Amino acid sequence: MSVLLERLIATLGREAVLSSPAELLVYECDGYTIEKNRPDVVVFPTSTEQIVQIVRVCNELEVPFLPRGAGTSLAGGVLPVGGGVVISLARMKKIRQVDTRNRYAIVEPGVVNLSLTNYLKPHGWHFAPDPSSQGACTIGGNVATNSGGPHTLKYGVTVNHVLGVELVLPDGRVVTTGGPIEDAPGYDLTGVIVGSEGTFGIVSKIWVRLTRNPEAYRTLLGVFETVDDATNTISDLIGAGIIPAALEMLDAPILSAIEAAFHFGFPLDAGAVLIMEVDGLAAGLDADAERIEKIARRNRAREVRRANTEAERALLWKSRKQAFGAVGRLAPSYCTQDGVVPRTKLPEMLRKIQYIGERYNLKICNVFHAGDGNIHPILLFDERDADQVQRVLKASHDILDECIRLGGSVTGEHGIGVEKIDFMPKLFSPEDLAMMLRLRAAFNPYGRCSPRKMLPTAGACIEQSKVGRRAAL
Amino acid sequence: MDDASCQIDGIGPLPVIRPTSVVELGEQIRQAEAVFPLGGRTQLDLGYPPSRDGIALDLTRLDQIIDYPARDMTITVQAGIRLAQLQRVLAGEGQRLPLDVPRAEQATLGGVLATNTSGSRRYGAGTARDYVIGISTVNDEGQETKAGGRVVKNVAGYDLCKLHLGALGTLGVISQVTLKVRPIPEASAVLMFGCETAALPTLLEELHASQTRPICLDLLNAAAVRHAGLLQPKQAWLLVIGFEDSETAVHWQMQQLIRELTRLNVVGTEAAAGAATQPVWQSLTELTAPTGAGFSLQAGVLPSQVAEFAAFAAGLPGDPLIHAHAGNGLVRVHWLQTPDASTAVAHRETLAARAGHLTVLRCPSALKPLLPLWGTPRADAELMRQVKHALDPRGRFNPGRFLQGI
């Protein structure tokens, strides 16, 4: 048994440590399956103190470590690039405190996003970020990647709903930033820890902002003959100053997969549909819905349906949020991208994606947060076929390059992880990246925590490096 | 105002340089021993006096609009633009940045962000943190570096935008900003009503639980009401509840709130709608930094503690103005007559003991050495210093003026 393993078992007990190759298999990647690498050990702390002990052992033995939530990252955020210790926060899942009067809750990082919202439901409140994976993903993971979701168009992303964190720094010190009282003078460290993809330490406790549940919803389904008509509608809605709670687009290929899985009644001959939702007070919602319908019809919507019951609305959202699951019906593997373009550039971007698909002879379907300009093209392939994998990678790169060319970004909510690290120099100058590296060094001077994530040159000093295995490459 | 030199808290005169390009700005920073960024100079008395000699860099000539794709609801501007000018440009497209900034004709965007200025609408509309999506700053080596971008959703790289908000320019000089903006709401209305101290806690609880969704939930004592010239105060406190939304939604909320208040036996409500709300918003905004206030404090408490804290503060001698953003737990206490040193120290201490944090927003320079202006150091003070050291290792930016060691 290695010294590392011995020390970790002595610290945490055997039931909190995984080390056999079979057990580690699950932890060699996340939702981004193109690159894989096995960690040496996976540990399951149940308290901040245990995280501190783990981090100290890793530092003593000079072993890299990284946090992991539910492993739903789509960018390799929890890929253990340099091996080492994966710190799973799955057993830290207590909702510590809920204070609706002061609009906050304190949760442990392993609390599943949806379970907090479900817990709050009887009180009339919720946690606003609602990524499609919300039934599985953890709030700690949301903090790491600054997650979004369909309703972040109106409500904002994770950082807009995090008031403070307790962080175990990479050297084992514990620090609390922020908290429920607003505007304490000083740097907004919370704001920069959110979205740092685990490179600043291990978040062990989170103060989240709670949001009142909307009194009512109006959920519309616009059916369009062409993708162009749908994207022009999006552009017109935003241009008219309408901010729906959610504005999602699904194209024909994804519709057929979803319909086969959920039988919602989507029209299979449509070019694209838009899910358009307004929420809030009941007063005024009908007028908003009518304005939306009018704009959709002006853009040649064939039909604008309304979800008439709560059950219908729930099924519509289930179909949308589990769209990725339905993709399994179309191909053995898929790779989804997360680019962002200015919202008025969506028609242009979608045409480009179609062109790229044709160029590389790949099927690409689209289901995405249209209101934010956050595209999620899904590239279908078979990971056993090396040539297809190559084409998928090339097509993905072309899509992201186009996002940059149109003035956008390569990731709206999934994160850079390892997947998009090569794009950072395209988005940022060497000076920009140098400032980011300086900031990282303030938190993580030895680069031992989440090495080789997000920034191209980071983590170069890790000794225990293994070359990541690439699927079928 | 003397353009060629300026004093900060009696220190100076510092030479004032007004760069007309970012290159020039970088050049100046590279050569300077210490740099004191200036915007509209409306909050120059915030914080401690400079601890070193240096140059004052006036950003007001860097005030260009770089890109305004109105249909994307984003705008990219240089940081020296005056807030009122920015709002005029946005209004031309039916849009706005929903931040309440006093002396907006003067104040620059860079200054507003460096001080994290906010006002009454923060309850419903949030703060600068919710609107800044991209930032460029000039670093200690005189290089302009950026973070974020120009799209509304973006998680590429560290979000340094957040770090510069409220940092008082101590991590670099903000040179350019991309903002997410909002449509100007169709309708605006305000409901005002008085209440006595004993009724305050219950009333705030009820307002928190109201079916309506106000954008503003402000609480003022009679002295503040009088100073703001809002109306003739009849009771110890005045609540100002604002709504901004569609015509239908605002109308319904006004009616609903009146129904709820009637149940609570609140009488004598005053309403304003449409253009008539403008002076109310204006008064509330200016009240966040009232002219003539000699000693101003800002406390942070939990919203549930606002009633108790405000009532205590109102009872302090010297007839202070109390203005709370009650839904957010921010309470400002202003004395028009500057108390003597020992009284000021005592006021600060007694309020600090009851608050989560307490900042001295304004006081005479002579008092500054006696007062912990930024309050008790936060739990993450050491980490903040590490961040400061990483981004400004030679301590060039605004030395001495912000938190200890920063």
Q: Which residues in chain A have their CB less than 8 angstroms from residue B167's CB? A: 187
Burial of B274 (0-12, 13-18, 19+ CB in 10 A): exposed
Q: Does one domain contain both A207 and A112?
A: yes
Q: How far is A108 from chain B (nearest CA, A)?
A: 19
Number of folded domains in chain A? 5
Residue B178 lies in a domain: yes
Q: How far is A54 from chain B (nearest CA, A)?
A: 21
Residue A418 lies in a domain: no
Q: Does one domain contain both A386 and A282?
A: no
> What is the total residue count of chain B?
406
Integer Cα distance of A378 and A48 in angstroms: 38
Residue A416 lies in a domain: no
Please tell me the predicted confidence (pLDDT) of residue B10.
Answer: 87
Among B162, B183, B204, which residue terminates a domain?
A: B183
The CA–CA distances, whole Å, from A458 to A145, A228, A433, B29 equal: 18, 41, 10, 28
Segment A338-393, tens digit of pLDDT: 999 999 999 999 999 999 999 999 999 999 999 999 999 999 999 889 999 899 99
Residue A12 lies in a domain: yes
Interface of A with B in 155-214 (CB under 8 A): 156-157, 159-160, 169, 175-177, 179-192, 194-196, 212
Integer Cα distance of A32 and A215 in angstroms: 37
Residue B283 lies in a domain: yes
Give whichever of A5-9, A264-268, A306-310, A313-317 has the largest mean pLDDT. Answer: A5-9
Interface of A with B in 226-285 (CB under 8 A): 235, 238-239, 241-243, 280-281, 283-284
Res A470 pLDDT > 60:
no
pLDDT-based confidence at A467, cuts 50/70/90? Answer: very low
Integer Cα distance of B283 and B235 in angstroms: 19
Contacts 24+ apart (CB under 8 A), A393-401: A393/A34, A394/A360, A395/A356, A395/A357, A395/A359, A395/A360, A395/A362, A395/A364, A396/A335, A396/A337, A398/A356, A398/A359, A398/A360, A399/A337, A399/A339, A399/A352, A399/A353, A399/A356, A399/A375, A400/A337, A400/A339, A401/A426
End-to-end CA distance of chain A: 32
Residue B56 lies in a domain: no
Select the residue from B136, B154, B254 to test the A interface by mutation, using most A Cβ atoms within 10 A: B154
Q: Does one domain contain both B300 and B340?
A: yes
Q: How far is B76 from chain A (nearest CA, A)?
A: 12
The domain containing residue B258 runs over which residues?
187-287
Contact B159 A195 (CB under 8 A): yes
Residue with tokens 């999006």: A234
User: Nearest CB to A372: which of B95, B153, B160?
Assistant: B153
Interface of B with A in 142-171 (CB under 8 A): 143-147, 149-163, 165-167, 171
Interface of B with A in 345-364 (CB under 8 A): 356-357, 359
Among B270, B287, B304, which residue terminates a domain?
A: B287
Q: Does one domain contain both B93 and B107?
A: yes
Residue A166 lies in a domain: yes
Contact A428 B157 (CB under 8 A): yes
Residue A208 lies in a domain: yes
Residue A411 lies in a domain: no
Beta B132-138 vs B144-148: how paired, if at all? antiparallel
Q: Does one domain contain both B246 and B302?
A: no
Among B164, B183, B202, which residue terminates a domain?
A: B183
Q: How far is B74 from chain A (nearest CA, A)?
A: 9
Residue A410 lies in a domain: no
Tokens encoding B357: 């944090």
Contacts with A169 (C-beta within 8 Å, 6 or more apart), sequence order? A175, A200, A201, A443, A444, B383
Q: Does one domain contain both A106 and A202?
A: yes
**What single-letter amino acid sits at B174?**
I
Residues A121-145 as b or e (16 or more Cβ within 10 Å = b)? eeeebbbbbbbbbbbbbbbbbbbbb
**What single-letter amino acid sits at B281?**
W
Q: Does one domain contain both B282 and B302?
A: no
Residue B204 lies in a domain: yes
Please tell me the predicted confidence (pLDDT) of residue A241.
Answer: 82
Q: Does one domain contain both B168 and B262?
A: no
The stretches of B63-143 forming alpha helices (DSSP H) are 83-91, 109-114, 122-125
Residue B9 lies in a domain: no
Q: What are the strands, taking DSSP E only, across A262-337?
A: 272-280, 303-306, 333-336
Q: Does one domain contain both A374 and A299?
A: no
Beta A35-36 vs B5-8: how paired, if at all? unpaired
Residue with tokens 């930024």: B374
CB A334 within 8 A of CB A384: no
Q: How far is B34 from chain A (nearest CA, A)?
A: 20
Q: Does one domain contain both B70 and B179?
A: yes
Q: Which residues in chain A have their CB less than 8 angstroms from residue B381's CB? A: 186
Tokens encoding A193: 């820890």
CA neighbor of A191 nearest in space, from A217, A160, A219:
A160
Q: Does one domain contain both B174 and B220?
A: no
Q: How far is A157 from chain B (nearest CA, A)?
A: 8
Residue A448 lies in a domain: yes
CATH of the domain at B247: 3.30.70.2190
Residue B360 lies in a domain: yes
Segment A130-151, tens digit of pLDDT: 999 999 999 999 999 999 999 9
User: Nearest CB to B387: which of A238, A432, A442?
Assistant: A442
CATH of the domain at B148: 3.30.465.10
Q: Is A374 on the interface with B (CB under 8 A)?
A: yes
Cα angle vertex A256, ends A251, A262, to 5°?
115
Q: Is B130 on the interface with A (CB under 8 A)?
A: yes
CATH of the domain at A149: 3.30.465.10
Please tell me the predicted confidence (pLDDT) of residue A462.
Answer: 36
Segment A183-233, tens digit of pLDDT: 999 999 999 999 999 999 999 999 999 999 999 999 999 999 999 999 999
Interface of B with A in 279-318 (CB under 8 A): 298, 300-304
| pTM listed for this prediction | 0.96
Among A325, A350, A375, which residue terminates a domain?
A: A325
Q: Which residues in chain B have their CB less than 8 angstroms from residue A174's CB? A: none
Segment B125-180, tens digit of pLDDT: 999 999 999 999 999 999 999 999 999 999 999 999 999 999 999 999 999 999 99
Number of folded domains in chain B? 3
Among A88, A118, A150, which residue terminates a domain?
A: A88
Among A56, A88, A120, which residue terminates a domain?
A: A88
What three-state secondary structure class fits A115?
A: helix
Q: Does one domain contain both A173 and A113?
A: yes
Contacts with A155 (C-beta within 8 Å, 6 or more apart), sequence order? A128, A129, A161, A211, A245
Task: Name the β-bridge partners of B8.
Answer: B11
Contact A159 B159 (CB under 8 A): yes
CATH of the domain at B313: 3.30.70.920
Q: Is B235 on the interface with A (CB under 8 A)?
A: no
Residue B15 lies in a domain: no
Cα angle vertex A156, ends A154, A161, to 5°?
135
Q: Does one domain contain both B218 and B271?
A: yes
Contact A429 B94 (CB under 8 A): no
Q: Which residues in chain A have their CB less than 8 angstroms from residue B212's CB? A: 281
User: How far, in whole angstroms, is CA A416 from its chain's centroid?
Assistant: 10
CATH of the domain at A283: 3.30.70.2190
End-to-end CA distance of chain B: 29
Q: In this predicted complex, what is the ipTM?
A: 0.97
The domain containing residue A353 runs over which residues?
331-405
Q: Which residues in chain B have their CB less than 8 angstroms from residue A428's CB? A: 146, 156-157
Contact B155 A416 (CB under 8 A): yes
Residue B80 lies in a domain: yes
pLDDT in tens, chain B (406 residues): 446 789 999 898 999 999 999 999 999 999 999 999 999 999 999 999 999 999 999 999 999 999 999 999 999 999 999 999 999 999 999 999 999 999 999 999 999 999 999 999 999 999 999 999 999 999 999 999 999 999 999 999 999 999 999 999 999 999 999 999 999 999 999 999 999 999 999 999 999 999 999 999 999 999 999 999 998 889 999 999 999 999 999 999 999 999 999 999 998 899 999 999 999 999 999 999 998 999 999 999 999 999 999 999 999 999 999 999 999 999 999 999 999 999 999 999 999 999 999 999 999 999 999 999 999 999 999 999 999 999 999 999 999 999 999 9
Q: Does one domain contain both A102 and A162?
A: yes
Residue with tokens 């999602």: A248
Beta B65-67 vs B55-58: how paired, if at all? unpaired
